[in-house]
């Protein structure tokens, strides 16, 4: 039970999240990848708070804040996807060019 | 190594394998419904990791918020927008996936190298708190009171904004024509617009 094992798992989860964020075509899958990355950050925070600051567990306080922000982000992101789907009739990321050109 | 440490190591290995495998499934599976259920598996395994790290309240919050709320929200969004559409081929799509994979693997190896070479000062013992809830509550209502209230207001604003974004706009001129009385209490929404011109 060492700190490094948790950090490596979090790094793997974060890299998988980045890969999904960039390569996904479906907009809902992009949101899922963002959730994966936020979970990796949470694992980092809690691992550090357990091994380096186990009396004042301030890392867990911040992980609760991150969980809250993630819930708000998921709600707003899915509402945006729903509203784009209503007007464009697709969830393909390659066709969301409203702000690109 | 006594029995407790052995159990911890075995559960850490199982949870790490579950997390990485299910996360790969979330990203790589073609069917997005399977991805959503595997995402729930990732969230559950993450709460197991939090239990291994003595964070019982955060583990419970993880199950309640992520599995109970976010995952269900994603499943509903999939049901609302899921339409089997063949994606058009993009120029250089395979090259882009390849480059992204190389970047992610190199980022992972860089992080692993950094984590394994740094000398972490974790020699002192981990304090055995009876429960983290008391400590967390003291933090929330003393030194982190302002961020706590701010994040509450932010969550409220995000939920109201999500409702505003997701519902179709109210139609004022439909009132003037006059609805029957039993429809007056319904949430009036604009009918579905024709598809916008796609470029």
Rounded to two decimals, the ipTM of the complex is 0.92
CA distance B65 to A70: 9
Q: Which of A64-68, B73-77, B88-92 has the lowest mean pLDDT?
A: B88-92
CA distance A82 to chain B (A): 6
pTM beyond 0.90: no
Mean pLDDT of B187-198: 56
d(CA A64, CA B162): 21
* pLDDT tens-digit map of A6-23: 999 999 999 999 999 999
- Please answer yes or no on whether A81 and B85 come within 8 Å at the CB atom: no
Residue of B nearest to A36 (CA): B23
Between these two residues, B128 and A70, which has the higher pLDDT value?
A70
Partner-chain contact B87 A25, CB within 8 Å: yes
pLDDT tens by residue, B17-68: 999 999 999 999 989 999 999 999 999 999 999 999 988 999 999 999 999 9
Query: Looking at the partner chain, which of A43, A78, A88 has a beta carbon nearest the beta carbon of B73?
Result: A78
- In this prediction, residue A52 carries a pLDDT of 87
Residue in B162, B155, B159, B166 with CA at minimum distance from that of residue B80: B166
The pLDDT value recorded for residue A42 is 95
* A19 Cβ contact partners less than 8 Å away, ≥ 6 residues apart: A33, B27, B100, B101, B104
The mean-pLDDT minimum among A39-48, B27-36, B189-198 falls in B189-198
C-alpha to C-alpha distance for B164 and B151, rounded to whole angstroms: 20
Residues of chain B contacting residue A82, judged by C-beta atoms under 8 Å apart: 77, 80-81, 165-166
CB within 8 Å: A92 and B107? no
Residues of chain A with Cβ-Cβ distance to B96 below 8 Å are 22-23
Q: What is the DSSP letter of B70?
A: I
What mean pLDDT value characterizes chain B?
84
Instruction: Identify from A2, A25, A26, A100 which residue to disrupt to test chain B contact, counting B C-beta atoms within 10 A and taking the largest count.
Output: A26
Model pLDDT, residue A83? 87
Q: Give the model's pLDDT for residue A66.
A: 94
Length of chain B counted residue by residue: 199
pLDDT tens for residues B121-163? 776 677 777 788 999 999 999 999 999 999 999 999 999 999 8
Burial of A96 (0-12, 13-18, 19+ CB in 10 A): middle
Confidence of residue B199 (pLDDT cuts 50, 70, 90): very low
The answer, yes or no, to whether residue B174 has pLDDT greater than 60, is: no
Count other C-beta atoms under 10 Å from residue B183's C-beta. 9
pLDDT value of residue B198: 47
């Amino acid at each position: 039970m060492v700190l490094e094992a948790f950090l490596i798992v979090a790094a793997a989860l974060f890299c998988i999240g980045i890969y999904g964020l960039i390569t996904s075509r479906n907009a809902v899958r992009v949101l899922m990848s963002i959730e994966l990355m936020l979970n990796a950050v949470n694992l980092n925070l809690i691992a550090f708070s357990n091994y380096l600051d186990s009396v004042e567990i301030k890392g867990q306080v911040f992980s609760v804040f991150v969980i809250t922000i993630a819930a708000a982000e998921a709600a707003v992101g899915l509402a945006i996807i729903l509203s784009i789907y209503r007007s464009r009739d697709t969830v393909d990321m390659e066709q969301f060019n409203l702000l690109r050109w | 190594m006594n029995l407790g440490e052995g159990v911890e190591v075995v559960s850490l290995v199982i949870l790490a394998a579950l997390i990485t495998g299910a996360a790969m499934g979330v990203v790589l599976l073609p069917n997005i419904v399977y991805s959503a259920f595997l995402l729930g598996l990732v969230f559950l395994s993450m709460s197991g990791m939090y239990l291994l790290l003595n964070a019982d309240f955060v583990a419970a919050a993880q199950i309640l918020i992520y599995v109970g709320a976010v995952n269900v929200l994603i499943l509903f969004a999939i049901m609302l927008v899921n339409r089997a559409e063949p994606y058009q081929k993009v120029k250089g799509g395979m090259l882009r996936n390849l480059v992204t994979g190389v970047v992610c693997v190199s980022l992972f190896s860089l992080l692993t190298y950094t984590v394994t070479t740094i000398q972490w000062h974790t020699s002192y013992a981990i304090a055995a708190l009876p429960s983290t809830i008391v400590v967390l509550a003291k933090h929330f209502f003393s030194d982190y009171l302002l961020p706590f209230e701010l994040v509450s207001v932010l969550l409220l604003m995000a939920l109201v904004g999500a409702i505003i974004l997701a519902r179709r706009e109210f139609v004022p001129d439909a009132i003037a024509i006059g609805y029957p009385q039993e429809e007056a209490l319904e949430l009036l929404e604009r009918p579905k617009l024709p598809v916008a011109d796609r470029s």
